[in-house]
Amino acid sequence: MPGVAQRTVDYARNYRRRALRSTLLVAAVWTTGGVAAILFLTSAGTAPFGTVGAAVSSLGIIAGLVGTDFILVMIVLAARVPLIDRTIGHDRAIAVHRSLGKPALYLLLGHGALLLIGYGLEQGFLPFAELGPMLATPNMPLAFIALGLMIVVVVTSLVAVRRHFSYEGWHVIHLLSYVAVAFAIPHQLSLGGVLANGTLPRVYWITLYVLAFGSIATYRVIEPVVSTFRHRIRVDQVETIAEGVVSIHLSGRALTSLGAVGGQFFVWRFWTGSTWWHSHPVSLSSVPTDGTARITLRDLGDGSRRILSIPSGTFVSIEGPYGLFTPAARTAPKIAIIAAGIGITPARALLEESRLSPGEATVLLRTSMDDRYLWDEVATIAKAKGAKFYTMTGPRATSGARWMPQRDAERGVSLRSVFPDLLDSDLYVCGPPAWLELIEAEAVAAGLPAHRLHSERFDW
Amino acid sequence: MNTRQALTGIFATATVIIVGWQVGAVALGQGAASSTSSTATTTSNPASGLKSGTYTGSNEQTQFGDVQVEITVANGTITDVKTVVLTGNEGRSDQINSQAAPILRSEVLSSQSANVASVSGATYTSDAYLTSLQSALDKAKG
């Protein structure tokens, strides 16, 4: 069919463009790191590595420049910049953000330690004796406070430590990183010659800060406020669809101009006395119209329980839309969708959003209990769009393919048998992390390239 | 119009303005320094009380190195400032000093005094430079 062929070309081209953007973003990140080091080398004195002491000090300065560059990159990655979200998705941006945290901290600790040692060697002092004059230097006390705060921020974000905090508690501590970054600025600009007044390196450095703090201000503060007041979303009706599961019907103005696509999520905040301080990243469970939207969520913790009974008319603030669990991420001619439990919400919206020719899509719904909410809706959409529709019900298998029920595992069912065109498909999976990882592993083992795997972890 | 696109436009514009302004400041800063120093050399000021000649200032020591300047006075005007001693303890201080000295020199030539702001990033060197300069000026008033 010419129509199918046409579409195939489009998905492949979209993917190439996105891959190119992604490569450019990665290259940009590495370039900023390299430039940070070069800034020092171009402005260094006659013999930056002439003596042992000078060499140690020079390395210390380079560590500080590169470490600070990493921190600024981390800020941009956490800023939910639309270009980054469209290219690699919010999840991966945050994963990169996390992976940079420890290297950045080590570089900044190295910066402090190497300079103390380097100056000590130059002047024949012990490194600790160098601490006094250093603290007496203008702006240095602030810089030490900044380093201390950065240690707190990174340590509280280590998986083992973070478990002990509520999200809100952790988040408040995490906001200290902005204070840390701000406190570190004066010593960078006033000490050392690398960023001396009236030089282009200083302009470059200030530009990095403008971009980092500008993206945070634009996309994490101003955009949510403007969107919230522009679209004035309110709770229309809370519909209980199963034990502990509700669909919240929302109404608002000009919602189409949000550009939200089925499969994306928003971070919602419901402004009642007991719920306003909790934010909820929840996917749309249907494609929004200009005046209405719907989300479906399950009570998974103390925060979402109160949501189950919020009154109609409650004001809702939004951040979003975010996410690449959408047709925009497609790279292949066919599409396979697997969803489990509450993970059905973005899968349903994705299916509704997708423009499909008959036989292009295959949908598999999975539950280990009896929670088949929205299954009838998915079945209806699948039928209307000519998608194949399968279900798997029953407790997880204890051997074999453990993401499916025991009897299916025993029958020898596999991803390839459910989705014969798997290797020509994009696989969208949404559900609990442990279950999802089993499917990812099987898909990769079956030969599905990583870029055709689109997962959304539902652990909230 | 989409809120996100509008804000992205505003953010991009603001960034360009801020960066452009900074780059402009760098370019103008260099231009302004050269123009004021040329004005200064043409302004003869016999009322300054400075006698013609060459005067060496005191040797000032800082934790980042030693500084000593020498001034040349003609017709009551400081026509040149040389840094006869400018040592850095290590590469970093060399770097700071070599950037700060020309800035200080042009400031002094344009203001015709030691009453100029220190160069940020080189506060210690600036202070030593200006102290040494003041002692040279004192000798010139002799």
What pLDDT is recorded for position B36?
38
What pLDDT is recorded for position B32?
46
Residues of A in contact with B93 (CB under 8 A): 45
What pLDDT is recorded for position A19?
93
Q: Which CATH number fits domain A19-226: 1.20.120, 3.30.70, 1.10.3470, 1.10.10?
A: 1.20.120
Cα dist. A74→A101, A161, A221, B81 in Å? 8, 20, 17, 47
For A6, residues 6+ apart whose C-beta sits below 8 A from its C-beta are none
Alpha carbons B45 and B76: distance in angstroms, whole number:
5
Contact call for A82 and B8, based on CB within 8 A? yes
Give strand ranges (E) for A208-333: 233-242, 245-251, 265-270, 280-283, 292-298, 315-322
What pLDDT is recorded for position A6?
47
What pLDDT is recorded for position A2?
44
Domain boundaries, chain B: 33-141
What pLDDT is recorded for position B82?
82
Contact call for B99 and A53, based on CB within 8 A? no
Long-range Cβ contact pairs of B22-28 (< 8 A, separation 24 or more):
B22/A202, B22/A203, B22/A206, B22/A207, B23/A200, B23/A203, B25/A198, B26/A198, B26/A199, B26/A200, B26/A202, B26/A203
| pLDDT at B50 exceeding the cut of 60 | yes
What pLDDT is recorded for position A212?
96
pTM of the full structure: 0.80
Question: Is the CB of residue B63 less than 8 Å away from at least one CB of chain A?
Answer: yes
Instruction: Tell me the CATH class for A329-457.
Output: alpha beta
Contact call for A196 and B100, based on CB within 8 A? yes
21-60 of B, contacting A, C-beta below 8 A: 22-23, 25-26, 29-30
Chain B: give the shortest CA distance to residue A191, in Å. 5
Alpha carbons A164 and A179: distance in angstroms, whole number:
23
Closest CA to A280 of A263, A299, A262: A299
| pLDDT at B49 exceeding the cut of 70 | yes
- In contact, B73 and B80? CB cutoff 8 Å: no
The chain A residue lying nearest B29, using CA atoms, is A198
Give ranges for CATH 1.20.120 in chain A: 19-226
- Cis-peptide, bond into residue A432, ω within 30° of zero: no
Q: What is the CATH topology of the domain spanning A232-322?
A: Elongation Factor Tu (Ef-tu); domain 3 (2.40.30)
User: How does pLDDT run across A175-224, given as a tens digit for each residue?
Assistant: 999 999 999 999 998 877 788 777 888 899 999 999 999 999 999 999 99
What pLDDT is recorded for position A50?
78
Residues of B in contact with A43 (CB under 8 A): 95, 99
The helix-helix angle for A82-123 and A2-43 (nearest 10°) equals: 20
Tokens of A343: 């993970």
- In contact, A240 and A248? CB cutoff 8 Å: no
Residues of A in contact with B3 (CB under 8 A): 223, 226-227, 230, 257-258
Please list the ranges in chain A whose pLDDT falls under 50: 1-9, 460
Alpha carbons A48 and A51: distance in angstroms, whole number:
8
What pLDDT is recorded for position A459?
57
A305-314, B33-42, B49-58: range with lowest mean pLDDT = B33-42
What pLDDT is recorded for position A18?
92
Establish, for the pair of chains A and B, how many residue pairs have beta carbons separated by less than 8 Å: 120
Question: Is the CB of residue A59 less than 8 Å away from at least one CB of chain B?
Answer: no
Please compute the mean of the pLDDT values over residues B82-100 and round it to a whole number.
67
ipTM for the predicted complex = 0.83
Q: What is the CATH topology of the domain spanning B33-141?
A: Sufe protein. Chain: A (3.90.1010)
Long-range Cβ contact pairs of A2-9 (< 8 A, separation 24 or more):
A3/A357, A4/A333, A4/A357, A4/A360, A7/A333, A7/A357, A8/A333
What pLDDT is recorded for position B93?
62
Residues of A in contact with B96 (CB under 8 A): 192-193, 196
